Structure 1
Amino acid sequence: MPTNGAAAQRRAVFTSRKNRGPANRSQIVARRIAGVFLSAAGMMWAAVTLAFLAVHAAPGDPVTAIMGESSDPALRERIERDWGLDRPLIAQYGLHLGRLLHGDLGYSYVRGEPVADILFGEQLVTSAQLAGFALLIAVVLAPLLAVLTAGRRDVFSRATATLEVIVASAPPFWTGLVLIWVFAFTLKVLPVTAGNEFQRLILPAVTLALPIAAVLAQVMREGIERALEQPFALTARSRGISATQLRLRHGLRHSLIPAATLAGWAVSGLLTGTVVIEEVFGRAGIGRETIAAVTHSDVPVVLGVALLTAAIYLTVTVLVDLAYLWIDPRLQEPTA
């Protein structure tokens, strides 16, 4: 016969489990989502502030960039007054935040055009095509390599792992030059500047995708191999499931969480990589606009690029955090 204390403890456990119903889980998910968005807002403010301080601490005089070849003191004074550059740094920071809250990114010092028109026009479309195609290649290539080589020690698997390390370690510009030499100059199967837009997009997209796919493949392979060592894998094998089905149905799902954790890194790699790749392949885009803005001390454009990059990075981070709730339903349960 159980004691009264044991019975009370059982009733408490039963009540606790009963309370973990759909309503309780919905509250947990809602709190997690709210926390994710609050964290993203704080990180966005920090990114804007750090970008502002970094740009103003960098060498270079934006007034000189605006004046061009003129050296008229009266013109310099008028430019400083019109652009608010004669105010203290804290006042300029306040004006910058105020404009951002109203959706105003300011005007380019050099071109005199709205920064929004420069960033969100044809340049953004070109860079988005490059980054999107590269991401598609990486997302397809990484799981394929991981599934084909996980848990195997043959020549193909060892060669693939070695090649992944080389590609992940090589500078992007070097990889791009090698691909140009092999496929454009030697084999002459892909163009660098000639051909239609899709043909010109292949080499830079592959160059941008290879290091990301190499790292993701290594992480996903480790996740699949760890899953194949779990007891449920032995149970699945005893039921007659094939090795390929085991990797696809169970191993691949268990590798999604560590791979999703690297999504922010992958997006940052795409954003920073476009700057180098667009220069190597002579493509127009946000990357070349960024280099021109930094060279000419065009502060509003540099800040606009930093804001755009931070917004894209944080958007992906938020989506990944929300995807965790779908990948691992245990996160929907109370932590205690």
Structure 2
Amino acid sequence: MLRWLGLRIAGGVFVLWAVATLIFFALRLIPGDPAQAILGGPGSQASPEALAQVRLDYGLDQPLAAQYFGALGRLLRGDLGTSYALKTDVGALILDQFWGTLVLTLAALAAAWIFALGLALWTTRGGWLSDRVGSGMEIMAAAVPHFWLASVFIIVFSSWLGWLPAISVPGPIGLVLPVLTLAIPLAGFLGQVMRESLADALESPFALSARARGESETGVRWYHGIRHAALPGISLSGWAFGALLSGAVVVETVFARPGLGRTLLNAVTIRDIPVVTGVALVSALAFILVTVVTDLVDRIADPRLGTS
């Protein structure tokens, strides 16, 4: 276990370095002058003297290699820098926006699990017709783009019915449409693997043995089948969390919800390099931690993995 954990930590450090390196060079390939972005963009009409002073203050006059290693050194010290546009500490800004995105993604992940398990139980119980209908629903849900689904929800539940707000508001009611927008496509992916795993579990020798001992069909499903159906879902939860973080960019923008996704989009638009780097690193770190926790839960649920 210690060896496995050590390899995970080493892999996580490598991923963080790769993300920081990729973002550093990618942002510098975008046309435009970072010094102008710091001073408010091309429309600020900054003087050459002001641009030169900003380049000197932020180290932008140094060679690219010196800028790169300087940025890595600051990241190793936990210094994410100062936002070019907002002139605030990037770490504090990200911490303020992080919790909204975390609540959104965790709520969407929980809802996707509920939808996927419910659909798997229904399709494996109702025979051939329900299996085909459930399979079609899973494929349709998995293929729906987030921006299209969000637009449909706003039109139906906000404009026509007036049940839910079109933009995010404080409280649970403001989470309903954003959570459903993220959860439904993910439930389509999870439902496919859970349904197949549950169907295999219900036909396995241990299920037949449980029925032979007199256990009811409901008991076989809930006490034996669900555990095996959940295993592939647990394995995919780490990937699912990453997919939800990327989907949060669209959802938070459409529903005007504060969070990391909306912050990242705004920062990319105005070329706020410290904010883009900070959000990407925090998202990568959260994804790594969730993946490690998912693997641990997977090993607890399926002890056979502990020997691999």
5+ long unaligned stretches in structure 1: 1-28
- 2:48 paired with 1:76: no
Instruction: Tell whether the 8 Å contact from 1:223 to 1:258 is kept in structure 2 after alignment.
Output: yes
Give the TM-score taking structure 1 as reference length.
0.85
- 2:23 paired with 1:51: yes
**Partner-residue secondary structure (3-state), 1:251:** helix
Q: Residues 99 and 253 of structure 1: is their aligned pair in 2 closer, same or farther, counting only changes over 3 Å?
A: same
**Counterparts of residues 1-336 of structure 1 (less than 5 Å):** 29-68=1-40, 69-121=44-96, 123-150=97-124, 152-193=126-167, 197-333=171-307
Residue 86 of structure 2 aligns to which amino acid in structure 1? R
Instruction: Tell whether the 8 Å contact from 1:131 to 1:274 is kept in structure 2 after alignment.
Output: yes
Instruction: Tell whether the 8 Å contact from 2:235 to 2:298 is kept in structure 1 after alignment.
Output: no
Report the aligned-residue RMSD: 1.9
Larger mean Cα displacement after TM superposition, 186-195 or 102-111: 186-195
Residue 232 of structure 1 aligns to which amino acid in structure 2? F
Once the 2 structures are TM-superposed, how far is the Cα of residue 293 of structure 1 from its aligned partner? Answer: 0.7
Once the 2 structures are TM-superposed, how far is the Cα of residue 38 of structure 1 from its aligned partner? Answer: 2.1
Distance 1:154 1:190 in 2: 37
Distance 2:74 2:154 in 1: 43
Partner of 1:7: none
Structure 1 residues 277-297: Cα deviation after superposition (integer angstroms, max 9, x where no partner): 112112222222111111111
Larger Rg: 1
Once the 2 structures are TM-superposed, how far is the Cα of residue 248 of structure 1 from its aligned partner? Answer: 2.0
Larger mean Cα displacement after TM superposition, 89-98 or 127-136: 127-136
**Partner-residue secondary structure (3-state), 1:120:** helix
Distance 2:218 2:155 in 1: 37
Instruction: Tell whether the 8 Å contact from 1:141 to 1:213 is kept in structure 2 after alignment.
Output: yes
**Partner-residue secondary structure (3-state), 1:113:** coil
Once the 2 structures are TM-superposed, how far is the Cα of residue 307 of structure 1 from its aligned partner? Answer: 0.3
Distance 2:279 2:168 in 1: 29
Larger mean Cα displacement after TM superposition, 180-189 or 85-94: 180-189
Instruction: Tell whether the 8 Å contact from 1:40 to 1:318 is kept in structure 2 after alignment.
Output: no
Structure 1 residues 119-155: Cα deviation after superposition (integer angstroms, max 9, x where no partner): 111x223222322221221122222221222264354
Instruction: Tell whether the 8 Å contact from 2:239 to 2:291 is kept in structure 1 after alignment.
Output: no
Once the 2 structures are TM-superposed, how far is the Cα of residue 166 of structure 1 from its aligned partner? Answer: 1.1
Give the TM-score taking structure 2 as reference length.
0.92
Larger mean Cα displacement after TM superposition, 183-192 or 199-208: 183-192
Percent identity of the aligned residues? 42
Distance 1:56 1:261 in 2: 36
Once the 2 structures are TM-superposed, how far is the Cα of residue 243 of structure 1 from its aligned partner? Answer: 2.1
Once the 2 structures are TM-superposed, how far is the Cα of residue 273 of structure 1 from its aligned partner? Answer: 1.1
Once the 2 structures are TM-superposed, how far is the Cα of residue 325 of structure 1 from its aligned partner? Answer: 2.1
Structure 1 residues 178-228: Cα deviation after superposition (integer angstroms, max 9, x where no partner): 112222222322222487522121111111111111211111111111222
Distance 1:322 1:37 in 2: 13
5+ long unaligned stretches in structure 2: none
Instruction: Tell whether the 8 Å contact from 1:293 to 1:302 is kept in structure 2 after alignment.
Output: yes
Instruction: Tell whether the 8 Å contact from 1:107 to 1:115 is kept in structure 2 after alignment.
Output: yes
Instruction: Tell whether the 8 Å contact from 1:33 to 1:322 is kept in structure 2 after alignment.
Output: no
Once the 2 structures are TM-superposed, how far is the Cα of residue 229 of structure 1 from its aligned partner? Answer: 2.4
Larger mean Cα displacement after TM superposition, 77-86 or 282-291: 282-291
